[in-house]
Amino acid sequence: MLIVGLNGSPKKEGNTAFLVREGLAAAAAAGAETALIHVAEALADQKQPFCTQCSNPCQGACFRHTRLEEAYDLLRRADGVLLGSPVYFGSVSAQLKALWDKSRLLRKEKALLNVIGAGVTVGNSRFGGQETTLKALFDMMLIQGMMIVGDGFLAADCGHQGSCGQAPAAGDEFAIQRVRITGQRLAEVAAATMTLRQHRARVG
């Protein structure tokens, strides 16, 4: 079982990366293998950073033999995804949106169908657009056919939409607690739904 975290911030050691790592650590403690993708690094060698719909259906030509292809190959193996973004004008970062827009080939392959997804966001203000950013993350995942879970767990409570943090994230104990619960929930539900992803062996 593999849980992949995506740090949608341009900062490799920023607030979003911190919270995503906390969630992955909880998933690992629950028995999952984990991996972290820094979105800015995955996009670093793209000649055109944004999707231009150069082929329809997508052939993946723009990212072949690049770091982005490596990131997508990792996502193809994922049983769960913890998608993290800073709040940029009430929504997701441009870097994360670019990576997701270019993932049209994964959608054609149904590579993320029935993969379990959860979200974590962090903003500079306590009420600075974290929940609207979470909703954007959910929409992005739902269009890939993913199944969304929040930050609920049997040993905690039923939860809410996910983990919403305020910078500096390392000092936001509530956000840390909620993203750890989210990581546990991801691992739990991913383990319980493994058979739903058997189609990938046939499609791939």
In the structure encoding, which two tokens stand for residue 69, read together? Answer: 């292809």
Any domain includes 63: yes
pLDDT for the residue 49: 86
> Between 173-192 and 15-29, two packed helices, what is the crossing angle to 10 degrees?
50
pLDDT in tens, 18-42: 999 999 999 999 999 999 999 999 9
Say if 204 falls within a structural domain: no
Calpha distance 182→110 (Å, rounded): 24
Is the peptide bond preceding residue 57 cis, with omega within 30 degrees of 0?
yes
Q: Label residue 38 left, alpha or beta by phi (over 0 means left) and psi (-120 to 50 means alpha).
A: beta
Give me the number of domains the chain comprises.
1
Is a pLDDT exceeding 70 seen at residue 198?
yes
Q: Is residue 192 part of a domain?
A: yes
Higher pLDDT, 49 or 140: 140
The domain in which residue 50 lies consists of 2-199
Q: What is the pTM of this model?
A: 0.95
Cα angle vertex 99, ends 94, 104, to 5°?
Answer: 130
Query: Any idea what DSSP says for residue 171?
Result: G
3-state secondary structure (DSSP) of residue 169: helix
Q: Which of 49, 120, 135, 144 is nearest to 90 (CA)?
A: 135
Query: What is the residue-averaged pLDDT of the chain?
Result: 95
Instruction: Give the whole-angstrom CA distance, residue 116 versus residue 118.
Output: 7
70-120, pLDDT tens digit by residue?
999 999 999 999 999 999 999 999 999 999 999 999 999 999 999 999 999
Task: Tell whether 113 is covered by a domain.
Answer: yes
Q: What is the CATH number of the domain that holds 115?
A: 3.40.50.360
Q: What percent of the chain lies above the pLDDT cut of 90?
A: 89
Confidence bin at 55 (pLDDT 50/70/90): confident
Inside any domain, residue 19: yes
- Domain-located, residue 142: yes
